[in-house]
Amino acid sequence: MTPEIMRLVEQMLEGENVSLSRVISLVENESSQVPEIMKLIAPHLGKAHCIGITGPPGVGKSTLVDKLTALMRKQGLKVGIIAVDPSSPFTGGAVLGDRIRMQQHYLDPGVFIRSMATRGSMGGLPQTASSVIKLLDAAGKDTILVETVGVGQGEVDIMERTDTVLVILSPESGDAIQTMKAGLFEIADIFVVNKSDHPGADNFFRDIQAMLQLRKPSWWNMPVVATEAVNDVGIEELYRQIQSHYQALSEESQLSQRRQLQRKQDFIKTLERKLTQRLLMLIEQDGQLRNYIDRVEKGEIDPYSAADEILKSENLSTDWLHQ
């Protein structure tokens, strides 16, 4: 590691936001320095409470993040925010730019806001989000809020990378059956019905509560919280439930289990990404593999048979694994 990068990491660990921003850029761009950076920050991890915030577009996720941040800052907590936006099809960058919606916090040195693009990831978070969460943790943030791009049946990344998951809904989100079909009951720790002053909110709130009654009893009794984020209504109750969940996680030994799962998933996905990159390089260099691709494209062989033949081939070198 170069002395400059070493100095950046040291400044980041001391809480300097400018250095933190530069180190995050190195991680997002997958610099060759990343393994050394992650090794340096490893002893400083595990102190922050990481909160995931997901839900359909337009339900008020960013407004809730804004209000929760204001409440946390009143209590003297240092807050890190990762706001994930769709990728621009032209630049690959984030489209929406949540920092615009959180202007009151932008100049607060106790708040660090980073917009990230999904960059093609299908799980709601970019592949580098896990590393950025670790950097915020190491930099001394007490709470990290991670707002995802949206929600769907593939949005499981948020559950695997955070301690507490808030699923934000509104009366316009549809009925409770559709909510359950979207897989939200599997990832949520707390349900939030935002825009609770809108028509149909009371019925929607009761429908969610009724659905939760059908779940098997567990160590955590999942609450439903009604909020009007734009009017600052229900935010204190929501924060109280977030704190209760974190306390219950610690008391029931669930926190250590979640973080063990996070480390396992982080390792597996990092390995998958690196192996995929090396395989793509091999395809460019290996004539045998290119021949298989040509045959698959022409319909001469199906993809499954081609993959089996490649994996069984004695001529396929495995040296690429060690490159």
- Domain enclosing residue 20, as ranges: 1-44
The predicted pLDDT at position 222 comes to 93
The predicted pLDDT at position 90 comes to 39
Same domain for 117 and 2, yes or no, is no
Same domain for 100 and 244, yes or no, is yes
Same domain for 89 and 235, yes or no, is yes
Nearest CA to 279 among 265, 298, 264, 292? 292
Residue type, position 125, single letter: L
Q: Is residue 210 part of a domain?
A: yes
Q: CA 44 to CA 169: how far, in whole Å?
A: 35
Query: Within its chain, how far is the Cα of 92 from the centroid?
Result: 18
Angle at 230 between CA 226 and CA 234, to 5 degrees: 30
Q: CA 57 to CA 149: how far, in whole Å?
A: 8
Q: CA 10 to CA 43: how far, in whole Å?
A: 13
Instruction: Please answer whether residues 214 and 163 qualify as being in contact, where contact means their C-beta atoms are separated by less than 8 angstroms.
Output: no
> Which helix (DSSP H) or strand (DSSP E) does residue 316 occupy?
none
- Give the SS3 label for residue 50: strand
Query: Within its chain, how far is the Cα of 232 from the centroid?
Result: 25
Same domain for 19 and 165, yes or no, is no
Q: What is the DSSP string of 209-271?
A: HHHHHTSPP-SS---EEE-BGGGTBSHHHHHHHHHHHHHHHHHTTHHHHHHHHHHHHHHHHHH
Residue type, position 13, single letter: L
pLDDT tens digit at each of 323 positions of the chain: 788 899 999 999 999 999 999 999 999 988 989 999 999 999 999 999 999 998 888 888 989 999 999 999 999 999 999 988 764 433 444 444 444 556 678 778 999 999 887 655 544 577 788 999 999 999 999 999 999 876 554 456 788 889 999 999 988 766 555 655 556 777 899 999 999 999 989 998 998 888 888 878 888 999 999 999 999 999 999 999 999 999 999 988 899 999 998 899 889 988 888 888 888 888 778 888 888 889 999 999 999 998 888 888 755 555 555 55
Q: Residue 278 class from Cβ within 10 Å (0-12 exposed, 13-18 middle, 19+ buried)?
A: middle
Same domain for 165 and 33, yes or no, is no
Q: State the CATH number of the domain containing residue 220.
A: 3.40.50.300
pTM: 0.85
The separation between the first and the last C-alpha atoms of the chain, rounded to the nearest angstrom, is 20
Same domain for 107 and 162, yes or no, is yes
The tally of domains found in the chain comes to 3
Same domain for 77 and 226, yes or no, is yes
Q: CA 149 to CA 156: how far, in whole Å?
A: 12
Same domain for 225 and 170, yes or no, is yes
Same domain for 239 and 132, yes or no, is yes
Q: CA 81 to CA 148: how far, in whole Å?
A: 11
Instruction: Please answer whether residues 84 and 158 qualify as being in contact, where contact means their C-beta atoms are separated by less than 8 angstroms.
Output: no
Q: Is residue 258 part of a domain?
A: no
